[in-house]
Amino acid sequence: MLTGQRQGERCVILANGPSLAEVDFERLEGETLIGMNRIYLLDLPIPLSYYVAINELVLRQFWKDIQRLPVPKFLNWNCRHLFSGSNTYFLRLRMGIRDRFAENLNQPLSSGGTVTFVALQIAFVLGFEEVILLGLDHHYPEQGTPNVTALRQGEDVSHFHPDYFPAGTKWQYPDLLRAEMAYQLARQVYEAHGRRIIDATSGGRCPVFEKVDFEDLF
């Protein structure tokens, strides 16, 4: 049903790095925005078009906030009991050693260790021709073993809001290497279909995607 719904259009995927707080969102008027995880903490002057969250710690700790979002939501199947609504789509996640890029939503999706990879797959299925990434800092001041769950102490300096994961909540250290490998898959599939992923993050450290200045796009 959703396949090709936005054929030939462009969208902006909002990752959750600190640089997102510096974006002039007034310049994105008229753009299709895909937000993820705790994006609703940002006071956006324009509405989201889609929302994605697959991390169970995010969904289980903040489900009440997420349930209130009025936009189409793509959420982890494992947390389906927490949510209701006709505009909610539940995604099964693929378990396996190697990540794959899904070209339809009827098959389990690989997470690539990051919700951004899932959002890129959803954007592809929807038919977007060009995807612009913002907030993909790809750098976490807080170091730890990838995928290990930790209890937040103090302010969150790894995301765009100090209460993104507030003190006392659980979060997982990122796996940047796995994410980069997943992003490579995404780039390959997009380019094989004549589509484009652009990274317009200010100061972003992800080495995978084509870099373009925000000012040149909007």
Question: pLDDT of 40-73, one tens digit each?
Answer: 999 999 999 999 999 999 999 999 999 999 999 9
Average pLDDT of the segment spanning 18-25: 96
Task: Supply the pLDDT for residue 110.
Answer: 96
Task: Supply the pLDDT for residue 180.
Answer: 97
Residue 143 has pLDDT above 90, yes or no: no
What is the rounded average pLDDT for all residues in the chain? 95
| Single pTM value for the model | 0.96
Give the model confidence (pLDDT) of 160-185 as tens digits.
999 999 999 999 999 999 999 999 99
Residue 129 has pLDDT above 90, yes or no: yes
Residue 1 has pLDDT above 70, yes or no: no
Longest CA pairwise span in the chain (Å) = 45
Select from 211, 200, 173 the least CA-distant residue to 15: 200
Domains and CATH numbers, the chain: 10-217 (3.90.1480)
